[in-house]
Amino acid sequence: MENTAKLRCIACGATPDSAGQDFRCTSCGDLLEFFFPGWNSSSLALDPAVLKALWIGRRTSRDALDQSGVWRFRELLPHIPEEHAITLCEGNTPLYRLPRCARAVGIENLLAKHQGMNPTASFKDTGMTFAASSAHWGKFSWVACASTGNTSASMAAYAARGSMHCLVLIPEGKISWGKLSQSLDYGALTCQLRTDFDGCVRILNELVRQKPVCLLNSVNPYRIEGQKTAAIELMEQLAWEPPDHIIVPGGNLGNSSAIGKALLEMRDLKLISRLPKLSIIQAQGANPFYRSVREFGGKKLEPITADTLATAIRIGNPASWKKALRVLQATSGEVEQVTELEIAVAKAEIGADGIGCEPASAVTLAGLKKLRRSGFVKAGESVVLILTGHQLKDPDFTIKFHRGELFADTPVAGTPEETEAAQAKYLQRAPVVLDADLGSVIAALDAAERNS
């Protein structure tokens, strides 16, 4: 049983047989993670060539588990009995080239792994299929999460498919309508709390101590295990030839922890021969991890009151910061922060490549530009951006951007903001309202042609 997984505390190293309701170490209160003691053996089942062939073979299988881009890699995941698996054919997301963005950044090889192409349109589905299945296995009738919108949409879908009840806590007025509408349609009990994401987390942590609900936030280590598969699938798509850099947005920091964990495990299992540098980008108004690394050398994290239009990552006290720090250091990655305007411009640039993503995902491109300028990313290096959410998650943001309504202030002349604002203007494509006659449309077409 090579994939017999055990739990371990990331701080004190305790190895409890099972986790409590809050998934924290009973000795020191820190987070738990899965590890695989059996992977030290030289068993044929873990031979890299055998695994690669097995996973590729499953792509033509008609079995529901094999068709999932998560469960297809189950040899690297803790065991969950098959009859409890709740799957929506998640994963299997495309890897796109971004030629225009690459030119703008000044590198040749720029790819985007689009996790927004999952069943509920965000990367959360890869972790949720696994964590929801573990809740089903544990015979929970209720699952719950605090969310900025994507976790809740995903959890609600998987709970519905697994016939479990579902409680969603979201900050009132601070998540996009698209995400809110998803959890309503999937039948969740949706509570909009008059607080921010961090306030929702606090309430939920108290709730799980009193009620038998299964917590499905990313402190739940099953979530991290499922989310690992994005990196495994990425390496398979790259024929197991790692890129030089992988860039992810950082909010609660579960995703970066998961991708980093997968990279380290794949290196240990000799599935890849070298580690990409994993870099984490935060919005400037929601930058506690950036500050932790840059100001305190990762020794502590000071929670902040977060604010950004990229509401998915409006998080001031990220739960998984220590896990993220560990993978940042192990892969020699970098942290960056980006402004609201930089996020908006980067989002429109990804859109102009015919791809699109939600605002939080666009921090990756905005961050890459900074990492290019600082010399951390070199022109000849290959880069993969992890796009975490679909463009249609937050159409309000997109429409306001194109109508020029996103930012009220005019930037000061001669500042970098002025250059960025000019770039934004260049990308804006506000809809044109015309009388319904052919002449007006032809005039609009001719004007557009002259300006192109």
Judge residue 424's burial from the number of C-beta atoms within 10 Å of its C-beta, 0-12 exposed, 13-18 middle, 19 or more buried. buried
- Cβ partners under 8 Å of residue 139, min gap 6: none
Q: Which of 19-27, 42-50, 143-151, 336-344 is the region at the interface with ligand F0G (rule: CB under 6 A)?
A: 143-151
| Residue 143: Cβ-neighbour burial (10 angstroms; 0-12, 13-18, 19+) | buried
| String of contacts with ligand F0G for each residue 151-190, x by CB under 6 A | x---------------------------------------
Of residues 116 and 162, the one with the C-beta less far from ligand F0G: 116
Question: Please, which residues have CB within 8 angstroms of residue 297's CB and are 6 or more apart in sequence?
Answer: none
Q: Closest approach of Cβ 233 to ligand F0G, in Å?
A: 17
Among 22, 336, 342, 358, the residue binding ligand F0G under the rule CB under 6 A is 358
Rounded distance, CA 450 to CA 452, Å?
A: 6
Q: Which is nearer to ligand F0G, 258 or 271 (CB)?
A: 258
Q: Is 337 in the site for ligand F0G (CB under 6 A)?
A: no
The Cα–Cα gap between 407 and 162 comes to: 43
Q: What angle do CA 363, 220, 34 make, to 5 degrees?
A: 100
Let me know: does 107 contact 164? Beta carbons within 8 Å.
no
Q: For ligand F0G, which stretch binds (CB under 6 A), given 94-102, 145-153, 184-192, 405-413? A: 145-153
Q: Does 221 bind ligand F0G (CB under 6 A)?
A: no
Nearer residue to ligand F0G within complex by CB, 116 or 417 = 116
CA distances from 110 to 96, 97, 233, 427 (A): 9, 6, 17, 20
150 scored as a contact of ligand F0G (CB under 6 A) = yes
Tell me the number of residues near ligand F0G by CB under 6 A. Answer: 23
> Is 224 a binder of ligand F0G (CB under 6 A)?
no
Minimum distance, C-beta of residue 148 to ligand F0G, in the bound complex (Å): 4
Single residue of 78, 119, 162, 250 touching ligand F0G by CB under 6 A: 250
Extract the tokens encoding 60: 């033509």
Piece of 32-40, 89-97, 131-139, 245-253 that binds ligand F0G (CB under 6 A): 245-253
254, 276, 298, 333: which one binds ligand F0G (CB under 6 A): 254
Residue with Cβ nearer ligand F0G (184 or 379): 184
If one asks whether residue 285 binds ligand F0G (CB under 6 A), the answer comes out as no
149 binds ligand F0G (CB under 6 A): yes
* Backbone Cα Rg of the chain: 22
| 394: DSSP letter | -
391, 398 Cβ separation under 8 angstroms: yes
Q: 């993969």: which residue's tokens? A: 384
CB of 179 to ligand F0G, least distance (A): 7
138 and 193 in contact (C-beta within 8 Å)?
no
Q: Least distance to ligand F0G from the beta carbon of 217, Å? A: 8
The alpha carbon dihedral of 368, 374, 377, 379 has a sign of positive
Residue 120 within binding range of ligand F0G, rule CB under 6 A: no
> What's the CA gap between 310 and 326, in Å, rounded?
25
Q: Is 389 in the site for ligand F0G (CB under 6 A)?
A: yes
Instruction: Say how many residues make up the chain.
Output: 452
Question: Among 87, 218, 287, 337, which residue sits at the site for ligand F0G (rule: CB under 6 A)?
Answer: 218
- Contact footprint for ligand F0G (CB under 6 A): 122, 124, 147-151, 218, 249-256, 312-313, 358, 360-361, 388-389
